[in-house]
């Protein structure tokens, strides 16, 4: 009964936040007066980031099986059965549209990111019993990678001097909806040899994790000129709350059998981010170039455990470059 009540409360919070974001967007649309500009404006942005990854590692095996047992391991460090990404590449694009006769700005954005594959070797010894049982030597390698996709739809307003065709500063506040999907995969290959025996057996394993969620978001983008030749200081921040589902699956296959299982559960993932950079607007073309640094943090995005659930965060930070073009 308590689980049912918690699920209902979770759904109520989600509907309240989604309704609040929609109501706020409608409020902005209703209360905003039409701008003097009677021409449609359209722009596109393309960017890329080299990211440094943090937030924790995921576990691809556990030292203590669910059923217990007398066996034990030696030569195993605290991070022997864990993997985590170190670096990533991220690309993103956005299209902005401001209809004639209004100062509302509609934005659709997409981001795709992928971590570099991490390979990690391991070697340890397993004793089946504490009183003279069999001894096995195990060594192998684990390979880990992650990727994600984000899709945003936002409605905003420039409370500065206007964002199209104007050399003054801009300050754009937006509200909207974000959909995100994160996935991670660890592949394991190993060999097992028995003490005082010439037979070597091989095994393999796979662990996959996924989070898919949707929820409201807010953002702020600002730009302030710092010179008369097109240079400006740009900065921004965003926040979102994603409501979705965590899933994890694991299967370790070896000569004596298979260890496997799956979990799934509802999860709320808060997200915050920000950036700061230096931009230059080309005087002879409708183009703007930005170089800066940005950070994005998601909390509790993965179920990083093996036999038991364990929340893992993901934090990406690093330099980025962006090019914006005003089509009209």
Q: With residue 19 as reference, give the H or E element that holds it.
A: helix 2-31
pLDDT of 32 > 50? The answer is no
**What helix, strand, coil percent values describe the chain, rounded to 5?**
10, 65, 25
47-56, 156-165, 192-201, 281-290: which has the minimum mean pLDDT?
156-165
The whole-number average pLDDT for the span 128-153 is 88
Structure confidence by residue, pLDDT tens digits, 277-322: 999 999 888 899 999 999 999 999 999 998 889 999 999 999 999 9
Q: To the nearest whole percent, how much of the chain has pLDDT over 90?
A: 59
pTM summary value: 0.83
- Give the number of domains in the chain: 1
Locate 121 and state its tokens: 């070797």
pLDDT of 187 > 50? The answer is yes
Question: Which has the higher per-residue pLDDT, 30 or 58?
Answer: 58
CB 59 within 8 A of CB 305: yes
User: Please, is 65 exposed, middle or buried when counting C-beta atoms within 10 Å of its C-beta (0-12, 13-18, 19+)?
Assistant: exposed
Q: Which domain holds residue 245?
A: 2-326
- CATH number of the domain that residue 20 is part of: 2.40.128
pLDDT of 30 > 50? The answer is no
**What separation in angstroms does the CA of 236 have from each of 150, 219, 254, 321?**
18, 7, 51, 15
Q: With residue 49 as reference, give the H or E element that holds it.
A: strand 41-54
């Amino acid at each position: 009964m308590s689980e049912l009540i918690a699920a209902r409360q979770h759904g109520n919070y989600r509907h309240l936040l989604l309704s609040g974001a929609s109501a706020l967007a409608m409020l902005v649309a209703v209360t905003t007066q039409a701008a003097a500009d009677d021409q449609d404006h359209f722009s596109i942005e393309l960017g890329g980031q080299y990211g440094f990854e943090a937030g924790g590692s995921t576990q691809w095996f556990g030292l203590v099986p669910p059923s217990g047992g007398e066996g034990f391991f030696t030569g195993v460090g605290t991070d022997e059965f864990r993997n985590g990404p170190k670096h990533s590449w991220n690309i993103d694009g956005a299209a902005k549209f401001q209809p004639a006769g209004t100062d509302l700005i509609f934005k659709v954005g997409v981001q795709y990111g992928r971590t570099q594959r991490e390979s990690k070797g391991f070697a340890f010894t397993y004793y089946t019993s504490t009183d003279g049982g069999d001894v096995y030597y195990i060594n192998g390698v684990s390979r880990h990678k992650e990727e994600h996709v984000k899709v945003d739809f936002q409605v905003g307003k420039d409370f500065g001097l206007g964002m199209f065709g104007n050399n003054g500063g801009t300050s754009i506040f937006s509200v909207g909806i974000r959909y995100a999907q994160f996935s991670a995969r660890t592949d394991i290959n190993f060999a097992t040899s028995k003490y005082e025996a010439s037979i070597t057996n091989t095994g393999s394993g796979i662990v996959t994790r996924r989070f898919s969620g949707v929820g409201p978001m807010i953002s702020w983008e600002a730009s302030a000129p710092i010179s008369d030749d097109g240079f400006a200081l740009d900065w921004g921040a965003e926040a979102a709350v994603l409501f979705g589902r965590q899933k994890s699956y694991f299967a370790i296959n070896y000569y004596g059998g298979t260890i496997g299982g799956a979990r799934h559960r509802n999860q709320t993932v808060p997200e915050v981010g920000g950036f700061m950079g230096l931009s230059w607007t080309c005087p002879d073309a409708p183009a703007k170039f930005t170089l800066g640094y940005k950070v994005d943090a998601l909390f509790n995005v993965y179920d990083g455990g093996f036999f038991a659930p364990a929340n893992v965060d993901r934090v990406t930070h690093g330099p980025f470059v962006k090019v914006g073009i005003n089509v009209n």
